[in-house]
Amino acid sequence: MVEFALVLPLMLFLLAMAIDFGRLFYAYVAVENAAKEGAIYGAQNPICATDASASLCPDPQNVEWRVLNEAANLPGLQVTTIECRERASGIAYGDLRSCKDGDTYVVASTFDFQLITPILNDVLGTGLTLQSESQSKVLNEAFDPTPGAAVLKYACVDLGSGCTPIQTPTIDVHDQPVYVVATARETLRYRISVTNIGGQVLTGLTVTDSVPLPFGASGCPALPGSLARNATWTCEYTRQAPNPAVGQPFLLLSNTVEFDALEIDPVPQVAIVKVVPRPAELRVTKNVSPHKLGDDGDGVPRFGDTPTVGVYHPASGGPSVWFYLTVTNTGGIAATGVTVTDTFGALPVNADCPTVPATLDPGAQWSCRYRRTFASSETGAFQNRVEGTATNAPSDHATATVTVFPYSLCTGTDRVVPNLIGLTFSQARTAWTAAGFTTALQPNGHNSSVVVTQNRMPYSCTARSTSGSMTMDPTP
* pLDDT at residue number 475: 54
Dist CA 276 CA 279 (whole Å): 9
Q: What is the pLDDT of residues 188-208, one digit of tens each?
A: 999 999 999 877 789 999 999
* pLDDT at residue number 128: 79
**In the predicted model, is pLDDT for residue 364 greater than 60?**
yes
Global pTM reads 0.57
Q: What is the pLDDT of residues 296-336, one digit of tens each?
A: 565 555 556 678 999 999 988 899 999 999 999 998 889 99
Domain architecture of the chain: domains with CATH: 2-137 (no CATH), 149-276 (2.60.40.10), 282-472 (2.60.40.10)
| 396: CB partners within 8 A, 6+ apart | 282, 283, 284, 387, 388
- Per-residue pLDDT, averaged over 79-95, amounts to 91
* pLDDT at residue number 474: 61
Q: What is the pLDDT of residues 396-440, one digit of tens each?
A: 999 999 999 999 999 889 999 999 888 888 888 899 999 999 888
* pLDDT at residue number 300: 54
* pLDDT at residue number 55: 61
* pLDDT at residue number 422: 85
Report how many helices (DSSP H) and strands (DSSP E) the chain contains, helices first.
4, 28
Q: What is the pLDDT of residues 89-108, one digit of tens each?
A: 999 998 888 888 889 999 99
> CB atoms < 10 A from the CB of 280, how many?
24
Among 125-134, 140-149, 213-222, 363-372, whose mean pLDDT is lowest?
A: 140-149
- Per-residue pLDDT, averaged over 101-119, amounts to 84
Percent of the chain surpassing pLDDT 70: 88
Q: What is the pLDDT of residues 203-258, one digit of tens each?
A: 999 999 999 999 999 899 999 999 987 899 999 999 999 988 877 889 999 999 99
| 6: CB partners within 8 A, 6+ apart | none
| 292: CB partners within 8 A, 6+ apart | 298, 322, 352, 369, 371, 421
* pLDDT at residue number 466: 84
Helix, strand, coil percentages in the chain from 3-state DSSP, rounded to 5: 15, 40, 45
Q: How many CA atoms lie within 13 A of 153 on its CB side?
A: 22
Q: What is the pLDDT of residues 165-194, one digit of tens each?
A: 999 999 999 999 999 999 999 999 999 999
Dist CA 357 CA 348 (whole Å): 14
Dist CA 223 CA 234 (whole Å): 9
Banded pLDDT at 476 (limits 50, 70, 90): very low
Report the greatest alpha carbon distance in the chain. 164
